[in-house]
Structure 1
Amino acid sequence: MMVIVIGVCVWMFILASESRKAAMEETQRQTDRLLKEIRAHERTDLALQEAKDKAEAANLAKTRYMSGLNHELRTPLNAIYGFAQLLEKEQGLSDWRVSITSIRRSSEHLAGLIDGLLDISRIEAGRLEISRDRVSLPMLLHQTAAIFEAEAKEKGISFNWSTHRLVPTLVATDEKRLRQILINLLSNAIRYTPAGSVKLELAYRNEVALISVTDTGVGIAPEKLESIWRPFERAGQSGREGSGLGLTITKLLVEVLGGQIDVKSILGEGSTFSEKLMLPSISPSVFDEQPLTDALRAPAFQGYQGPRKTVLVVDDDANHRMMTEQFLSKIGFNVLLAGSADLADQILQEAVPDIILLDINMDGRDGWSFAQGLRAGEWPHIPIIVISGHADEERKSRPRLALHDAFLAKPFNFDDLAMQIAEFLKIRLLLKDAPTDAADDAKQEPIRLSPDLRARLLEAANLGHAGGLQRLIAGMRAENACDPAILERLEARLAQFDMGGIVNILEAANDGAK
């Protein structure tokens, strides 16, 4: 029994020793294999990092090329678009109106395509940004639809757009992105509709806009309804033109704006793209007294109400300076022109403008250094509107928000520029064929004031001394020194801080006591 027990113990010891030896050998083999795999991963990671660096370098080079190409396209396009707007506003060119309008619409369409190229670059870089603008929704619909009316007419299909329920005049959203969504949907609808009609509809309820684009085109097969949102997939037949990125970008933009987009289609009968967007309405300011029907058409400004204002345009492109001066001068602004930042400094020694329109890329000092000098010098409070051919400057300018008050990318709309200026200078733009306050004042009974009181009121109005005006008007009411209806007119102007309107009323006043 002892021998058997000793044999079993020896056998167990030998077995444990052999197992430990085998385990150590297996551990060593696994360790060697892991080391080899780690070295292989390191080589793979190094190759991947090299490929990534090359791809990033290529992508950076492509981004720089697209950015430079974007600027080179926008600069001449701004001249074409700008002069087309000026010619379209001329009354004596009615025979050429259709041709000029076609040039303007084609320029707008080309500007939209350039924005699309830039957006692709931004999407690939993962830095798509959304802004919050004050947008005239009816005007945006009208301007966007006008781009495709001529194209639909040439193709022989009918194109209509309409709104349902009450549509607010102004909403808060990203105007550029909303316009791009509409352009992409309408462009696809007209492209894939050989005959029939295309219809754009908008319904608004509870701060939500439902926009639908319906066509009677080729339609989409059921199995392709999901794939049309993928890059380089075409909604219709594969042989038709198009990059295949329009719907991809559209879906991305709708989702970034917090909305959703759906499609219903029957092959051979047509398609309907519907999107829901949150578009909160806001109270208008520049068009406080203009009806909605005026906003349905592109505004034609004949001037503004209030004292004459001075605008300084700093741009190294002579064509841009010329067309900006022509537009602003016709509205009634005094326009000063400077081809460089140094010349602008010399002008500022002689005259102080009410607002500055500033280009960024100029020979010598650029626009940012000039704006920084203004803010740190004698004119820190002059509003500055930056106008640049580099659309990505808007994103780069975020750290420089203190240097400027607004940003416009070339090519820009002159009416948008006028509304920006009116907002900063607190003036009211006057539409053509619209009644003006000056005309209303002329119909009123002229004011009869003593020379002393009239001079005191004029002095306070010219100084912008609202408190002094309020006390003078209150004293006139207490002493019954003027007709109450006339005092109400003065108080109405004072409530709007319309010093120019008060000056106009007082300058038309007759001497003599009541």
Structure 2
Amino acid sequence: MLLFSGTFGPVAAGAAGFAGFVVAFAAAPAIAWATRGRHYLAREPSPVGLGSTTKTCCICQYAFEPEDMANCPAYDGLICSLCCTLDARCGDRCKVPFSVDGALPVRRDSILQTSLWSNRQVSKSNQRARRFSKTFLSLILMIAGVIAFAYMQGTLTYPDERSAIWTVAWHMFWLFTIIAAMSAWMIVLARESRMLAQEESERQTTLLMEEIEAHERTDAALQQSNGKLLEAKEIAERANTAKSRYMIGIRHELRSPLNAVLGYAQVLDNDPTIPIRRRHAIRTVRRSAEHMSSLIDGLLDISKIESGRLYLEREEFDVIELLEQMADMFRLEAKTKGLGFYFTLQGKFPRVVYGDAKRLRQIVINLLSNAVKFTQKGDVTFRVRYRDMFAEIEVVDTGSGIHADDLQKVFEPFERGRHTGSNPISGTGLGLTITRLLISVMGGDMTVDSTPGKGSSFRARLLLSEATYASPRLSAYSQVSGYEGPRRRILIVDDDKAHCEMMTDILEPLGFNVRSVNSGVECLVVARENPADLVMLDIAMPGMSGWETAKVLRESVAPQSRIMVVSGNAFEIEAFRGSFGYHNTVMTKPIDANALVQEIAKLLEIEWRMRGVEAGIAEAERQASSGLSASRRLPSRAELADLSRLGEIGYVRGIRDKLIDLGNQSADYLWLVELLEPMVGRLDFPRYTATLSTLLDGEP
């Protein structure tokens, strides 16, 4: 800089660039010698594996030659020269401490520190003052150099104004001195803040690394001592798998006899020759079988819950009809125990909603079953409200109640809480667990209020969106009398003869030509001779399974036949539902006759011929116009008016009670009970009231 400013003449100024190179080249070893390598050599050489070809840097993760690597104490690993140059967070921990006389190790701050504070302990405030002094002095020297350079350039250009330039330079120096003091203080504070943050970060990192090492030691100790525990875990897992297989197997075994019970209950319920007094008992058997079927499905739900997969079906269903059926099923059970049972619908309920009818049925059954089971005297109230696409189900009982400590415990698997009654209560302790899980999956929540000795109140809130554009009401089995078009052939393939006989009793009265065989081989023989329009295949059969039979039917024997897979093993159906494309639909045992006729109508594209209620109205008109015989006389006009009024408000239970009373009064009224009861069963109130109006108009 002196040469460039012209201090040594114009010739020397031209050589300023070369002089700068020579000075820098000579200053580097001079500084190293003067400071004993503190600002030049970082550390003593250490072997880093010179025998290998390359080493990986712990910062950039690139490979370099061993000569370009060094051990970094800050990162506790090998670091390349580039990362070592760029990284400033390590605080130069690798620098070798030194002293002026070579005997006293001091901190690596500066020569100024060594000379002024090496013989006494420096306090924190003195350290801050020292840093400020160093920074301030550095800034002053820089400012003085710049101003001196500007002064020399100014005096060379304007030699006559040397005094004025000196005055300006002097004032500028003091002005920048004040600014340098403030800047130095801010730099010192910023550095302290950065150092504190870095120290805290390093401290937390050190603690984290120590914790990780402790966890690794603990994990290693556990792995060494967990041999027996692992063996016990494997034994428990094998037992759990065996339990799940047993549950699946027993569910399949229970479905087979239950299929016959439910199937024949549906057949008898559809038989017009059954007396009205026995029809109610048959329907009770049917609903109880449906209840048992849902309980069996709960065994499958347990396996699904354990495996973490539980799926919902989105379908249209009549929610009022479903709730009425549940109420009727538990009203009889409550009456048997001497309990009152009250069922009310509040709010404007849609007729058809979207949701999973099977899961909703399971939720209601679990809640009502617990209420009736744990209530020894008093009553059970079943209320359902509907508002803004949400249904709130409330079940209130006057039973033994639940202790406050058990309110959350009763929702845990296999937990039942404390029972205050004298009689033991049976149960597995899974009902409320499954119920709360299903409610959560269906987008709702569940709350419970209970007082020991006074009763409990369970409230479930579920999302049941209204089907604004609902599909036409599907045909019910009880309404079907036949179908239009040519007679269709149905082949039933099942090794259970009782199932074949039951399906034949359901389908033959509807006009189908039904044939049954007991194995897949017989099915192929019959299908080759006379292909059926619909083949109903069981899965588990001796010899050839249902899946194999379906494949042969579809590929060669009867490619035009519709194939319905029917099995009591719902788990097997779900496992292979998407793996085979040879069947058209699947159904599980026990068979629901309503669902069966709906599936058959879709597969065969047929139109059912219904038992028209118009025939009942015509019969009523004929009886009213031609006069009634002694065996077909009408009740009093007041009785008919009561029936009509109950139909106008849709009070199903009241109508049924009234019809039972009429049947008990006289056998002459049974024809009217048999005429009106089917209309009430399918909630066809317009035709119900029309029939009674016709009878009232013809009654003098």
TM-score, normalised on structure 1? 0.70
1:69 Cα offset (Å): 1.3
Match for residue 591 of structure 2 among 396, 405, 412: 412
User: Per-residue CA shift, 1:292-330, capped at 9, x if unaligned?
Assistant: xxx8xx844333445443322211111111111111111
Distance 1:285 1:33, change over 3 A: closer
Alignment of 1:46-445 (within 5 A): 46-94=227-275, 96-234=278-416, 237=419, 239-282=424-467, 283-285=469-471, 287=473, 299-377=478-556, 379-380=558-559, 382-400=561-579, 402-435=581-614
User: Per-residue CA shift, 1:476-504, capped at 9, x if unaligned?
Assistant: xxxxxxxxxxxxxxxxxxxxxxxxxxxxx
1:379 Cα offset (Å): 4.2
1:378 Cα offset (Å): 5.7
Q: Is the 8 A contact 2:528 2:557 kept in 1?
A: no
Distance 1:362 1:332, change over 3 A: same
CA distance in 2: counterparts of 1:34 and 1:315, whole angstroms: 59
CA distance in 1: counterparts of 2:431 and 2:546, whole angstroms: 35
Q: Is the 8 A contact 1:286 1:429 kept in 2?
A: no
1:335 Cα offset (Å): 1.8
What SS does the aligned partner of 1:237 have? coil
CA distance in 2: counterparts of 1:320 and 1:241, whole angstroms: 32
1:401 Cα offset (Å): 5.5
What SS does the aligned partner of 2:554 have? helix
Alignment of 1:467-482 (within 5 A): none
Distance 1:35 1:327, change over 3 A: closer
Distance 1:429 1:44, change over 3 A: farther
CA distance in 1: counterparts of 2:377 and 2:357, whole angstroms: 31
Q: How many residue pairs get matched?
A: 408
Distance 1:420 1:36, change over 3 A: closer
The farther-off stretch of 198-207 and 312-321 is 198-207
CA distance in 2: counterparts of 1:149 and 1:103, whole angstroms: 14
Q: Is the 8 A contact 1:190 1:198 kept in 2?
A: yes
What SS does the aligned partner of 1:403 have? coil
CA distance in 1: counterparts of 2:513 and 2:605, whole angstroms: 16
Letter in 2 for 1:52: K
Distance 1:259 1:154, change over 3 A: same
CA distance in 1: counterparts of 2:393 and 2:214, whole angstroms: 61
Distance 1:273 1:340, change over 3 A: same
1:381 Cα offset (Å): 5.2
Distance 1:400 1:166, change over 3 A: farther
The farther-off stretch of 319-328 and 58-67 is 58-67
TM-score, normalised on structure 2? 0.53
CA distance in 1: counterparts of 2:288 and 2:400, whole angstroms: 26
Letter in 2 for 1:113: L
CA distance in 2: counterparts of 1:118 and 1:279, whole angstroms: 24
Q: Is the 8 A contact 2:524 2:557 kept in 1?
A: no
Letter in 2 for 1:396: A
CA distance in 2: counterparts of 1:201 and 1:224, whole angstroms: 25
Letter in 2 for 1:287: R
What SS does the aligned partner of 1:91 have? coil
CA distance in 2: counterparts of 1:47 and 1:134, whole angstroms: 53
Distance 1:430 1:287, change over 3 A: farther
Match for residue 40 of structure 1 among 205, 221, 244: 221
Could you tell me which residue of structure 1 aligns to residue 36 of structure 2? none
- Superposition RMSD in Å: 3.3
Q: Is the 8 A contact 1:192 1:236 kept in 2?
A: no
1:433 Cα offset (Å): 4.6
The farther-off stretch of 410-419 and 195-204 is 195-204
CA distance in 1: counterparts of 2:419 and 2:593, whole angstroms: 40
The farther-off stretch of 107-116 and 314-323 is 107-116
Letter in 1 for 2:552: G
1:35 Cα offset (Å): 9.3
User: Per-residue CA shift, 1:135-182, capped at 9, x if unaligned?
Assistant: 332332233333323211211122243433443444332332222111
Letter in 1 for 2:256: T
CA distance in 2: counterparts of 1:8 and 1:383, whole angstroms: 99
Q: Is the 8 A contact 2:248 2:299 kept in 1?
A: no
What SS does the aligned partner of 1:93 have? coil
1:246 Cα offset (Å): 1.0
Segments of structure 2 that go 5 or more residues without pairing to the other structure are 1-100, 106-212, 619-700
Letter in 2 for 1:245: L
Distance 1:168 1:311, change over 3 A: farther
Identity of aligned residues (%): 41
CA distance in 2: counterparts of 1:431 and 1:310, whole angstroms: 20
**Larger-Rg structure:** 2
Distance 1:40 1:229, change over 3 A: same
Segments of structure 1 that go 5 or more residues without pairing to the other structure are 10-31, 440-514
What SS does the aligned partner of 2:514 have? strand
